[in-house]
A and B are shown apart, each in its own frame.
Chain A
């Protein structure tokens, strides 16, 4: 049993659901879900990770974005069994274990990059990947990269400012080293 889990194999629970081993925010976990349940539902209902939110259910709004093996995905489009043996990171996993906010989270606060903040988790995850992948992205490139995340409150100007500022800060940090 332990072996199979470690290999990321899905097993059946006694009540006919699936036990799905995965790394979740740095911790080995077993997700329990029906075969047709989405990762979004599973993270919310089973794991209580309410920072992952549904906005559209069809992959168009990005509110449900999580990192799957380091890539942002819409968790509403991923079925829970698909994450077996893989690594998931949600907004709850962005801060350091001691609770210190990441520089990206801090940049969102400094620029007040939200109103209702329903979309914020998704933007943070996407922007985190952007910063890794394109540390020198221009404002234009940031706009393009974030186009799959919708914010109905229209906090876009401040979101762009926050992300551009973050890249700037990280660049300054790199040259200082």
Chain B
């Protein structure tokens, strides 16, 4: 596990530490939401449905309420009786209720909540709640869902104030939750031009984020204001949702967010907050809810997916048409599924220049745990399909997968799948470096030593940043010249607070210890859409820079009077404004603030990116900029056991400008760990709607021993670029197809269904022993 980063210096004068509060973190003293303790705090537990799909016939909590130490028990029907509560939530469709009101839609759907003086009592009370269920036919698979003999949501969805970028296209009496369309060029004409057409079906299973800190929050009511300390990536979304539930203005909900123990998308949108807030209201006391690991597994997952992908190529290796039909299993509730299927859907267009693309992408309801945002945001599933298929096509036609990619990757200015031109294109550089680092040789497919065989695989992906999106930041320059940043960016391990301090501080040429940043507090820190989709560095970083730039202009104005020079002749240098190149004629920021008699200088900036897609064609602006990444893997497969070891992995990602090199490396390495888990091990296994492996004994995540011994990184930076791309999750999606392609080159076994387990490889090896072509070419 040696890493060879290739960072260029990032242009800042600051000493950039990985994390501002590193000292607290190694002392075990950094505070997570779950460490908050309130006087008189009660502990909550949830009673969950044992059935995947069942009508709630009756519920009786009287025995539980009588248990000493139980302060309150609430049930779905209790909520239905209350006029002051609107019991539904969900970011797009209000299809989830605080507690089950009419029917349970997955094993684990909460139906009652207890608040008691301690956890033991709350737990004991759950056994005393009597529930009568009438079981319904469960919808356990995509096939069940499409057959529609049973319907997960019988009524049309209750809409919230809709997202600007989402077109609601829900079908009545079906399990289709939403449908996204992309129509680029003329698909029939495209396939007519093709010399070869290939059609393959790829699947990815649901997996869980497994943040080490599970979902938790503490809620209490204080003078009519609902207060929460919550482990959420999206305080403003949660605030809006709670205000709607309690029918109060948003000013009567206040959420603070300490550092998170991991998020990866799991902690987006309201999750544990609504039910905890209701318990706090009913009891009049602070209430904590902290999910167990088992509960975490069924709270939110990555979408299971099936993609049927048909691609047409000419005999000289150009892709001329691609048709994708994508089914994303969104589980029992939509969550952000309707938006994710859009990114995953257009994502199937890939980083290739294809003139004719047709995509139908569906979010589908089933009676499994709800699926939502997950690192990669639909692109992992899409890339698993198109990057696997790239190699399959190359193999069938006898081409070098590297050359085949090079021939089709987007060049500067060529249109991406959403029709807009690709700017700042670096796919080919990234792929070339990946091939070089892994030692790609078109002529060597596999190297065999005894019963072990080695092979290499490549992949390249494209990913959108959430567009349109909005961030805002406020900054204060104090009279001692120190800078305070008020931002709602959530620190979840990605070093957001450090990065923003660097970006803000350098505008005024301050030392890092002169800059401070507050944790999100919806009463004080300005609006941010949420910390997700690798958008933080870019979107919030831009807002912070704009606000500090405003302060700088204010300083220049004051200094211009003071020093009697034109504003244009001024510059900042180490905490002072000076006449350009004349340090003797300068004045400190603190003096200027005092002179202004303002106490502090204030500025606020809003950064909003524009864009959006046409509802019928999916053409328009899909992303303010497109994230780009490549991966290369070398694997060794044991032919006797099917066991796969990833010997080497290379991750390449284009970063624009890097504000925090240590964090950029860490996030990229973290993606490798995340990606290899999904490539080789991770899968939520259900039986009859019941999760079989919802604990860390049975659900395997990557340990330090599973990491490749050799890792190389290529975090591509453009020195002159002021454009901060943010790299959060970009290097994740290439992992799975890079490994799959390497396994294929090593063994000839093509796995279409993640994860690539030893059993599947062995089955594949046996199938090859009986000669049979892999994949099929149609209509050639």
Binding site for B on A (CB under 8 A): 34, 49-53, 55-58, 60-61, 63, 90-92, 94-95, 101, 105-106, 108-109, 112, 114-121, 124, 139, 143-144, 146-161
CB distance B670 to A154 under 8 Å?
Answer: yes
Residues of the B chain whose Cβ atoms lie less than 8 Å from the Cβ of A139: 1
Which partner residue on chain A sits nearest B703 by CB separation? A147
CB distance B22 to A92 under 8 Å?
Answer: no
Whether, in the assembled complex, B493 has its beta carbon less than 8 Å from a beta carbon of chain A, the answer is yes
Select the residue from A50, A52, A117, A150 with max chain B CB neighbours within 10 A. A117
CB distance B701 to A150 under 8 Å?
Answer: yes
Interface members, chain B 568-593 (any A CB < 8 Å): none
Residues of chain B at interface, number, CB under 8 A: 54
CB distance B32 to A55 under 8 Å?
Answer: no
Residues of the B chain whose Cβ atoms lie less than 8 Å from the Cβ of A149: 703-704
From A106, A118, A143, A154, give the contact of B705 (CB < 8 A).
Answer: A143
Residues of the A chain whose Cβ atoms lie less than 8 Å from the Cβ of B30: 117
CB distance B666 to A155 under 8 Å?
Answer: yes
Segment from B82-90, B258-266, B520-528 that makes contact with A: B258-266
List 3 tightest A-B contacts by C-beta distance, closest first.
A51-B28, A154-B673, A112-B18
Q: A116-B262, A143-B1 are in contact. Are A55 and B697 (CB under 8 A)?
A: no
**How far is A160 from B662 in the complex, measured between Cα atoms in Å?**
15
Which partner residue on chain B sits nearest A41 by CB separation? B119
Q: Mark B10-50, 1 if CB is under 8 A from A, else 0.
A: 00000001110011011111111001000000000000000
Q: Mark B243-274, 1 if CB is under 8 A from A, else 0.
A: 00000000000000001111010000000000
Which partner residue on chain A sits nearest B27 by CB separation? A95
CB distance B669 to A158 under 8 Å?
Answer: yes
Which partner residue on chain B sits nearest A56 by CB separation? B696
Segment from B208-216, B609-617, B639-647, B755-763 that makes contact with A: B208-216
CB distance A61 to B696 under 8 Å?
Answer: yes
From A34, A116, A148, A161, give the contact of B493 (CB < 8 A).
Answer: A116
CB distance B26 to A124 under 8 Å?
Answer: yes
Whether, in the assembled complex, B663 has its beta carbon less than 8 Å from a beta carbon of chain A, the answer is yes
Taking A58-B695, A115-B494, A117-B26 as known contacts, 12 extra A-B pairs with beta carbons closer than 8 A to each other, sorted by chain A number, are: A60-B695, A92-B29, A109-B17, A109-B26, A116-B492, A117-B259, A120-B28, A147-B705, A150-B212, A151-B212, A152-B262, A156-B673
Which partner residue on chain A sits nearest B495 by CB separation? A115
Interface members, chain B 431-458 (any A CB < 8 Å): none
Which partner residue on chain A sits nearest B671 by CB separation? A154
CB distance B27 to A157 under 8 Å?
Answer: no
9 A/B residue pairs, CB under 8 Å, sorted by A? A51-B27, A51-B29, A58-B695, A101-B27, A115-B666, A117-B25, A120-B28, A121-B28, A156-B702
Which partner residue on chain B sits nearest A106 by CB separation? B26
Which partner residue on chain B sits nearest A109 by CB separation? B22
CB distance A152 to B704 under 8 Å?
Answer: no
CB distance B707 to A157 under 8 Å?
Answer: yes
Interface members, chain B 261-301 (any A CB < 8 Å): 261-262, 264, 292-293
**How far is A17 from B654 in the complex, measured between Cα atoms in Å?**
58
In the assembled complex, how far is the CB of residue A153 from the closest CB belonging to chain B, in whole angstroms?
5
**How far is A103 from B581 in the complex, measured between Cα atoms in Å?**
44
**How far is A63 from B293 in the complex, measured between Cα atoms in Å?**
13
Q: A101-B23, A153-B493, A155-B666 are in contact. Are A91 and B705 (CB under 8 A)?
A: no
Residues of the A chain whose Cβ atoms lie less than 8 Å from the Cβ of B292: 57
**How far is A106 from B17 in the complex, measured between Cα atoms in Å?**
13
Q: A112-B17, A147-B703 are in contact. Are A154 and B674 (CB under 8 A)?
A: yes
Residues of the B chain whose Cβ atoms lie less than 8 Å from the Cβ of A150: 212, 696, 701, 703
**How far is A153 from B707 in the complex, measured between Cα atoms in Å?**
13
In the assembled complex, how far is the CB of residue A172 from the closest CB belonging to chain B, in whole angstroms?
20
Residues of the A chain whose Cβ atoms lie less than 8 Å from the Cβ of B27: 51, 91-92, 94-95, 101, 105
Select the residue from A95, A139, A157 with max chain B CB neighbours within 10 A. A157
**How far is A90 from B703 in the complex, measured between Cα atoms in Å?**
22
From B35, B212, B662, B671, give the contact of A116 (CB < 8 A).
Answer: B212
**How far is A147 from B707 in the complex, measured between Cα atoms in Å?**
10
Q: A55-B293, A60-B696, A152-B211 are in contact. Are A112 and B701 (CB under 8 A)?
A: no
**How far is A149 from B701 in the complex, measured between Cα atoms in Å?**
11
CB distance A105 to B696 under 8 Å?
Answer: no
Whether, in the assembled complex, B389 has its beta carbon less than 8 Å from a beta carbon of chain A, the answer is no
From A90, A151, A158, give the contact of B28 (CB < 8 A).
Answer: A90
Which partner residue on chain A sits nearest B120 by CB separation? A34
Q: A56-B293, A92-B28 are in contact. Are A157 and B493 (CB under 8 A)?
A: no
Residues of the A chain whose Cβ atoms lie less than 8 Å from the Cβ of B702: 154, 156
**How far is A167 from B30 in the complex, measured between Cα atoms in Å?**
26
Which partner residue on chain B sits nearest A121 by CB separation? B28
In the assembled complex, how far is the CB of residue B25 from the closest CB belonging to chain A, in whole angstroms?
4
Whether, in the assembled complex, B711 has its beta carbon less than 8 Å from a beta carbon of chain A, the answer is yes
CB distance A57 to B704 under 8 Å?
Answer: no
Residues of the B chain whose Cβ atoms lie less than 8 Å from the Cβ of A49: 28
Q: A115-B493, A118-B212 are in contact. Are A157 and B35 (CB under 8 A)?
A: no
**How far is A61 from B663 in the complex, measured between Cα atoms in Å?**
23
In the assembled complex, how far is the CB of residue A111 from the closest CB belonging to chain B, in whole angstroms?
9
Which partner residue on chain A sits nearest B26 by CB separation? A105
CB distance A144 to B705 under 8 Å?
Answer: yes
In the assembled complex, how far is the CB of residue B437 from the closest CB belonging to chain A, in whole angstroms?
15
CB distance B212 to A53 under 8 Å?
Answer: yes
From B32, B672, B674, B695, give the contact of A56 (CB < 8 A).
Answer: B695
CB distance A160 to B212 under 8 Å?
Answer: no
Residues of the B chain whose Cβ atoms lie less than 8 Å from the Cβ of A156: 1, 669, 673, 702-704, 707
Residues of the A chain whose Cβ atoms lie less than 8 Å from the Cβ of B663: 112, 115
Residues of the A chain whose Cβ atoms lie less than 8 Å from the Cβ of B667: 115
CB distance A116 to B259 under 8 Å?
Answer: yes
Q: A53-B213, A116-B212, A119-B212 are in contact. Are A143 and B26 (CB under 8 A)?
A: no
Which partner residue on chain B sits nearest A159 by CB separation? B704
Whether, in the assembled complex, B58 has its beta carbon less than 8 Å from a beta carbon of chain A, the answer is no
**How far is A89 from B694 in the complex, measured between Cα atoms in Å?**
31
Residues of the B chain whose Cβ atoms lie less than 8 Å from the Cβ of A106: 26
Q: A149-B704, A152-B210 are in contact. Are A91 and B1 (CB under 8 A)?
A: no
Residues of the B chain whose Cβ atoms lie less than 8 Å from the Cβ of A116: 211-213, 259-262, 492-493
Q: A112-B666, A117-B30 are in contact. Are A53 and B696 (CB under 8 A)?
A: no
Residues of the B chain whose Cβ atoms lie less than 8 Å from the Cβ of A34: 120
**How far is A161 from B662 in the complex, measured between Cα atoms in Å?**
13
Whether, in the assembled complex, B553 has its beta carbon less than 8 Å from a beta carbon of chain A, the answer is no
